C-alpha cells in the first residue's frame, strides 16, 4: 500500500502503482485538510465575488458570471465540451498513470477538489481501471484539456474506458470499481482538466522503456562488436576517466563487463588498429542518451510533484480564509522541451545501430562475412531488405525529431496566446521509441546471424547468454524465408520480462 498526500511520488512509486497494481490510499491528515478546504470554498464562493471556474466561465469567457443554480452544470459542461480528443488512444498503463498524476496534484490542496472526486480517482486506480483517452487534441497549455476531459467522462460514466487492457463502456468500469457516476463538486470539472498530466504520464511510462532500450543498445553493440571481430580496447576505463560524463562511464563499464572473456581468433580479428565510430564511440554516443534520460527524469519527477492547476487557491492554516490567484502552472513548456530532447536521444540510438547493421552486411567492411549475411548470396538476398527497413525507420525518426516545443498556435480568442505543444512532443516520442526498438531488433538479428556464420565459439560468456535468448526465439537462416516473422518474434522478446530482467541486471552491474 502506498499512501499519497504526505510524500512526493517517486519513479519507483509510479511504476509499482501503474505496472504492478500496488494499491493506494490517501493519508488521513490529507483527507481532513481537503475536506475542510472544500467546505470553506463552497461556502465562500456563493457570494458576489467572482471566483474563476466556479462562478465564471472559462478562458476567453472568464468575465461571464455563472448563477449559483447553474454552477453544477458549468462543471459538467466543461468536461463534456472539452472531451474532443481524436486518434488512437493512450495505452492502458499511460492512461492509468494519468489518473495517478492528476490525483497527486489535487491532493496538494490548491485545487478545491471535492473529497468525492479524490475518492473516485483512488477507487479507479485500485480497481485497475483507466479512461479511454485519444492521443491528439491537446496544445499543452491551459492544461492537457482534451485528454484530461476524457478522464472526466469516465468519472461521469460516459463513453468508453479500460479495465486492464480490455475496452469497456465507462459505466461498466465504474461498477467494477464499486462506484456510481460522480456528482461533480463546485470546481471538480476544472480541477480535473487543468494540468500537464497527459504529456507527463506519457513521459513517465516512456522513461521506463527508454532506460530499457538504452541498456539493450549496449547489449546489441557488444554482440555486434564480437560478430564483427572488433577491438575491446576502446572501452578501457582509462580513456573514459578523461571525459567522465556519467552516461559515458556507465556505458564503457557495461561494454567492458559484456566483453569480458571475448577472445576473437586471428582468422576474424579486425586487422585495423581502430574500429569504425559506430563501435569505437559507443560509450560517447549511448552515454549521451543515458544522460538525457536522467535529465528528463529529473524534470518529469519535479513536474509530477508540482501543482499544475489554475487558478490556485491558497488557504490559511486555520482553514478560515482563502485567496484565489490566477497563474500559469498548467503550461507544459518544461515537459514539452524535455520530451523533444528525449526523442532526439532515442533517435540517436537508432542512428548508430543502423550503422552497425551496415558494417555487418557490407562485404567491403564486414571483416570476412558473406554479403548480406547469407550463404549463396544472389540466389538469396539475406538481410538486404531488413537493412532497408532500418534505414527507413531511421529516416522517419529524423523527421519526427523536429521539435514540437518551438511551435505555438494561439487559441481561445487569443487569451491562450502561447502554448507548449507538449502532447504533440509526447506522441512523436512514442513513434520514435517504436522505430528505435525495431532498428535495435534488426541489429540483434543481424549480429546473431553473423556469429553463426563465423563458425567459432569465441564470444564472451555474457554474450552467449544474450545470444541464446535470441536463438530460442528465432533460428539461423541458411536461406531466404519469412524474415518478417523473425522480426516480430524478436520484437516480442525485446519487450519480454526475460529481456527487461537482463537489461536491469546490466544497469545495476
Of 61-75, 392-406, 419-433, the least confident: 61-75
pLDDT over 70 at 248, yes or no: yes
Calpha distance 311→112 (Å, rounded) = 10
Residue scoring higher pLDDT (214 or 267): 214
Across residues 238-254, what is the average pLDDT?
Answer: 97
Across residues 215-220, what is the average pLDDT?
Answer: 98
Calpha distance 195→420 (Å, rounded) = 12
- Whole-Å CA distances, 498 to 12, 21, 286: 20, 20, 22
**pLDDT (0 to 100) of residue 245:** 98
Calpha distance 373→228 (Å, rounded) = 12
- Whole-Å CA distances, 502 to 198, 222, 438, 495, 497: 30, 14, 18, 11, 9
Q: How open is the CA angle 322-5-342, to the nearest 5 degrees? A: 105
pLDDT over 70 at 59, yes or no: no
Both ends of the chain: CA-CA distance in Å? Answer: 29
**pLDDT (0 to 100) of residue 62:** 67
Digit-coded pLDDT (tens) for 154-207: 999 999 999 998 999 999 999 999 999 999 988 899 999 999 999 999 999 999
**pLDDT (0 to 100) of residue 386:** 97
Radius of gyration of the chain (CA): 26
Nearest Cα to Cα of residue 246 among 206, 204, 207, 295: 295
Of 47-56, 320-329, 353-362, the least confident: 47-56
**pLDDT (0 to 100) of residue 426:** 98
Q: What is the DSSP code string of 399-443?
A: HHTS-GGG----BTTTTB-----HHHHHHHHHHHHHHHHHHHHHH
Q: What is the DSSP code string of 241-256?
A: TTS--HHHHHHHHHHH
Digit-coded pLDDT (tens) for 472-499: 999 999 999 999 999 999 999 999 999 9
Calpha distance 177→342 (Å, rounded) = 35
**pLDDT (0 to 100) of residue 60:** 63
Digit-coded pLDDT (tens) for 117-161: 999 999 999 999 999 999 999 999 988 999 999 999 999 999 999
**pLDDT (0 to 100) of residue 186:** 86
- Whole-Å CA distances, 187 to 39, 77, 295: 12, 12, 35
Strands 160-163 and 166-169: antiparallel
Burial of 411: CB neighbours in 10 Å, binned 0-12, 13-18, 19+: middle
**pLDDT (0 to 100) of residue 171:** 97
The sign of the dihedral angle between the CA atoms of 12, 14, 15, 19 is: positive
Return the active site residues. Answer: 52
Calpha distance 53→37 (Å, rounded) = 16
pLDDT over 90 at 41, yes or no: no
pTM above 0.85, yes or no: yes
Calpha distance 170→95 (Å, rounded) = 14
Q: How open is the CA angle 396-359-237, to the nearest 5 degrees? A: 100
Nearest Cα to Cα of residue 453 among 268, 201, 259, 179: 268
Across residues 59-75, what is the average pLDDT?
Answer: 76
Question: Residue 50 is inside which H or E element, if any?
Answer: none
Nearest Cα to Cα of residue 325 among 111, 142, 140: 111
- Whole-Å CA distances, 300 to 16, 93, 402, 474: 17, 17, 21, 38
Which domains are seen in the chain, by residue range?
2-194 (1.10.275.10), 204-305+343-507 (1.20.200.10)
**pLDDT (0 to 100) of residue 13:** 96
pLDDT over 70 at 463, yes or no: yes
Burial of 67: CB neighbours in 10 Å, binned 0-12, 13-18, 19+: exposed
| % of the chain exceeding 90 in pLDDT | 80
Digit-coded pLDDT (tens) for 1-39: 999 996 799 999 999 999 999 999 999 999 998 998 888
Amino acid at each position: 500500500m502506498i499512501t499519497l498526500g504526505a510524500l512526493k511520488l517517486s519513479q519507483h512509486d509510479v511504476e509499482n502503482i501503474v505496472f504492478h497494481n500496488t494499491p493506494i490510499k490517501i493519508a488521513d491528515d490529507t483527507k481532513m485538510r481537503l475536506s475542510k478546504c472544500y467546505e470553506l470554498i463552497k461556502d465562500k464562493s456563493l457570494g458576489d465575488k467572482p471566483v474563476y471556474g466556479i462562478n465564471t466561465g472559462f478562458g476567453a469567457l472568464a468575465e461571464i458570471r455563472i448563477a449559483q443554480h447553474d454552477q453544477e452544470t458549468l462543471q459538467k459542461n466543461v468536461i463534456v465540451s472539452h472531451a474532443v480528443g481524436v486518434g488512437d488512444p493512450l495505452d492502458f498503463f499511460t492512461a492509468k498513470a494519468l489518473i495517478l498524476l492528476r490525483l497527486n496534484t489535487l491532493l496538494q490542496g490548491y485545487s478545491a477538489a471535492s473529497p468525492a472526486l479524490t475518492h473516485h480517482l483512488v477507487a479507479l486506480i485500485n480497481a485497475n481501471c483507466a479512461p479511454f483517452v485519444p492521443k491528439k487534441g491537446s496544445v499543452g497549455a491551459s492544461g492537457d484539456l482534451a485528454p484530461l476531459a476524457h478522464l472526466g467522462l469516465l468519472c461521469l460514466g460516459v463513453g468508453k474506458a479500460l479495465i486492464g487492457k480490455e475496452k469497456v463502456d465507462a459505466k461498466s468500469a465504474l461498477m467494477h470499481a464499486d462506484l456510481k457516476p460522480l456528482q461533480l463538486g463546485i470546481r471538480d470539472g476544472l480541477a480535473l482538466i487543468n494540468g500537464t498530466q497527459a504529456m507527463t504520464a506519457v513521459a513517465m511510462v516512456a522513461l521506463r522503456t527508454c532506460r530499457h532500450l538504452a541498456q539493450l543498445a549496449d547489449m546489441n553493440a557488444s554482440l555486434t562488436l564480437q560478430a564483427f571481430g572488433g577491438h575491446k580496447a576502446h572501452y578501457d576505463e582509462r580513456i573514459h576517466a578523461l571525459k567522465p560524463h556519467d552516461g559515458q562511464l556507465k556505458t564503457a563499464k557495461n561494454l567492458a563487463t559484456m566483453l569480458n572473456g571475448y577472445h576473437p581468433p586471428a582468422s576474424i580479428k579486425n586487422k585495423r588498429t581502430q574500429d569504425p565510430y559506430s563501435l569505437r564511440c559507443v560509450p560517447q554516443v549511448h552515454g549521451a542518451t543515458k544522460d538525457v534520460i536522467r535529465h528528463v527524469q529529473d524534470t518529469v519527477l519535479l513536474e509530477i510533484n508540482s501543482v499544475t492547476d489554475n487558478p490556485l487557491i491558497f488557504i490559511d492554516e486555520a482553514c478560515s480564509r482563502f485567496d484565489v490567484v490566477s497563474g500559469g502552472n498548467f503550461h507544459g513548456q518544461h515537459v514539452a522541451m524535455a520530451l523533444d530532447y528525449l526523442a532526439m536521444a532515442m533517435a540517436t540510438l537508432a542512428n548508430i545501430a543502423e550503422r552497425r547493421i551496415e558494417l555487418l552486411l557490407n562485404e567491403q567492411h564486414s571483416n570476412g562475412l558473406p554479403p548480406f549475411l547469407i550463404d549463396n548470396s544472389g540466389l538469396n538476398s539475406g538481410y538486404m531488405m531488413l537493412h532497408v527497413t532500418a534505414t527507413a525507420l531511421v529516416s522517419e525518426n529524423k523527421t519526427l525529431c523536429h521539435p514540437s516545443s518551438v511551435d505555438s498556435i494561439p487559441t481561445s480568442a487569443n487569451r491562450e496566446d502561447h502554448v507548449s505543444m507538449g502532447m504533440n512532443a509526447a506522441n512523436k516520442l512514442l513513434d520514435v521509441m517504436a522505430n528505435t526498438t525495431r532498428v535495435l531488433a534488426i541489429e540483434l538479428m543481424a549480429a546473431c546471424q553473423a556469429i553463426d556464420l563465423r563458425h567459432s565459439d569465441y564470444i564472451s560468456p555474457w554474450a552467449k547468454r544474450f545470444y541464446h535468448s535470441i536463438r530460442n526465439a528465432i533460428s539461423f537462416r541458411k536461406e531466404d524465408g519469412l524474415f518478417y516473422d523473425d522480426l516480430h518474434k524478436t520484437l516480442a522478446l525485446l519487450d519480454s520480462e526475460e529481456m527487461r530482467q537482463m537489461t536491469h541486471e546490466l544497469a545495476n552491474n
